[in-house]
Amino acid sequence: MTEALSAQRIRFGYGSRPLLKDFSLELGEGEFAGVLGPNGAGKTTVLRLLSGTLRPQAGIVRLFGESLSELPPRKRAQLMGVVPQESWILFPFTVMEVVLMGRFPHLGILGMENPDDEDLALTCLEEVGMREAYGRPLSSLSSGERQRVLIARALAQQPRILLLDEPTTFLDLKHRLLIYEILSRLNASRKLAVLTISHDLNLAARYCGKLWLLKEGDLLASGSPAEVLTPELLRKAYETDVEVGHDPRTGSPFIIPYPSQDAGGAS
């Protein structure tokens, strides 16, 4: 089986300062996985390398078996959708206009969307529960609603893998849960592979089947949530004492942080 996305010993840094050292990752088709780590661990660098914004200085990234750096931009966009953290847009584009932008990789030069594209965009909005908002300017929406529209825009590319850059950072409790519910549903119904770069340990623990834990550009651990989210590893990654319990309803681990016992941290 070809992996949907794979990175083999990729490395990136500026000057002598490495941001990511020999990182490897494999994401199968239809998998739901997450990259975790504290600030400065290299999460954003991982996302930019995996999405093709940055080129690794060593190693290779493959998307469905093909070298990412050699794929033409439109072809890449047909396979992979990326949901950015930043949802601001210049000029008052409406929700529908924003989602239709996702059709770009499927249209030629000056190509205009046809009624089928519009139906598809509406379906994508339906999937994220934003169908009614299609005529509103994007800027009039709350950050949680905007995030959902951006997921719909990525879906309009009809990708087979979705990358999300900290999709819940600026959101309230309701929306944080809602975003992961939407992703989990898409993952199940469309066999869409999902990779989130995340801060949110408890949500990642509940929804992701596979995790990678980073610290200062090093991979600390990878595996199932139970294997990665252990008190020892989290203490090492976040320099904070944690208690790991088990969610009585889902059985997934959940993490409660405490101030570190020894003042020097765990390094």
Partner 1 sequence: MRPSRLTPRRLAMVLLLLAGCLLLSMALALTMGSVRVPPGTILQALSGRGAPEETSIILLQVRLPRILLAALTGAALACAGASFQAVLRNPLADPYILGISGGAALGAILSTLTGGDSPLSGVLARPIFAFAGACLTVLAILALSRSRGVTASTPMLLIGWIFNSFFLALILFLETAVDFSRVRGAIFWLVGTLSPVPYPVLAGLTAAVGSGFVILWLLSRDFDLICAGEETARHMGCNVERTRVVAILAASLITAAVVSFSGLIGFVGLIVPHAARFLFGPDHRLLLPASALLGSAGLVLADALSRTLLAPTEVPVGVLTVLVGGPAFILLYRRHRGEISHD
Report which residue type is found at 179: I
Q: Count the residues of the shown chain that bind partner 1, applying the rule CB under 8 A.
A: 43
Q: Does 88 bind partner 1 (CB under 8 A)?
A: yes
Residue of 94, 230, 252, 260 interacting with partner 1 (CB under 8 A)? 94
Q: Which CA distances in Å does 208 have to 46, 88, 142, 188, 211?
A: 17, 28, 26, 12, 7
| Shortest distance, position 114 Cβ to partner 1, whole Å | 9
Q: b/e string for 196-207 if b means 16 or more Cβ within 10 A? A: bbbebbebbbbb
Q: Which of 1, 15, 90, 251 binds partner 1 (CB under 8 A)?
A: 90
For partner 1, the binding residue among 15, 16, 65, 135 (CB under 8 A) is: 135
Alpha-carbon Rg for the chain in angstroms: 19
157 vs 222 by CB, closer to partner 1:
157
66 binds partner 1 (CB under 8 A): no
What ranges make up the beta strands (E) of 99-235? 161-165, 193-198, 210-215, 218-223
Task: Spell out, one character per residue from 201 to 240, where the chain touches partner 1: x when CB under 8 A holds, - when not.
Answer: ----------------------------------------
CB-based burial of residue 144 (10 Å sphere; 0-12 exposed, 13-18 middle, 19+ buried)?
middle
Query: Given the structure tokens 């992996």, which residue do they identify?
Result: 3
Q: For residues 153 and 210, which CB has a smaller minimum distance to partner 1 in the complex?
A: 153
117 binds partner 1 (CB under 8 A): yes
Please report which residue ranges of the chain form alpha helices under DSSP H: 43-50, 73-79, 95-101, 115-127, 143-156, 173-190, 201-207, 225-228, 231-238
**Tokens standing for 54?**
């940055």
The only residue of 6, 45, 147, 157 in contact with partner 1, by rule CB under 8 A: 157
Q: In the block, which residue shows the tokens 């390094």?
A: 267
**141 binds partner 1, rule: CB under 8 A:** no
Task: Work out how close the CB of 4 gets to partner 1 at its nearest, in angstroms, rounded to a whole number.
Answer: 16
* Candidates 3-11, 27-35, 97-105, 259-267; binding stretch for partner 1 (CB under 8 A): 97-105
Overall residue count recorded for the chain in this entry = 267
Binding site for partner 1 (CB under 8 A): 48, 51-53, 73-78, 80-82, 84, 86, 88-94, 96-98, 100-102, 104-105, 107, 109-113, 117-118, 134-135, 153-154, 157
